[in-house]
């Protein structure tokens, strides 16, 4: 069960990167969804080491940058 959930989270993160590459708003939305789901997954499975906090802080900085550019992105698919 856990490898399947983690695989879906990794796939969602990759698909969001494709959306961000093409400068689409759905890429930001999917990235936020994948970020919160992955964070919840790591907390529930007790995988909160030092690397977790480093990636968490980097992702929060990246989310801040993305939200700053969100209005300039294309809302179309």
pLDDT in tens, the chain (77 residues): 788 999 999 999 999 999 999 999 999 999 999 999 999 999 999 999 999 999 999 999 999 999 999 999 999 88
Query: What's residue 2's pLDDT?
Result: 82
* pLDDT recorded at residue 67: 94
pLDDT at 23: 95
Please enumerate in sequence order all residues whose Cβ is within 8 A of that of 2, keeping only pairs 6 or more positions apart, or say none. Answer: 45
Contact criterion met (CB below 8 Å) for 6 and 41: yes
Taking the C-alpha atoms of residue 68 and residue 51, their distance in angstroms, rounded to an integer, is 26
Per-domain boundaries in the chain:
2-72
Question: What's the pTM value of the predicted model, to 2 decimals?
Answer: 0.89
Give the pLDDT confidence score for residue 42 in this predicted structure: 93
């Amino acid at each position: 069960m856990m490898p399947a959930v983690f695989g879906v989270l990794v796939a969602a993160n990759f698909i969001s990167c494709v959306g961000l590459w093409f400068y689409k708003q759905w890429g930001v939305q999917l990235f936020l969804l994948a970020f919160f789901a992955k964070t919840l997954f790591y907390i529930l499975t007790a995988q909160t080491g030092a690397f977790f906090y480093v990636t968490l802080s980097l992702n929060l900085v990246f989310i801040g940058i993305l939200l700053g550019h969100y209005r300039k992105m294309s809302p179309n698919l």
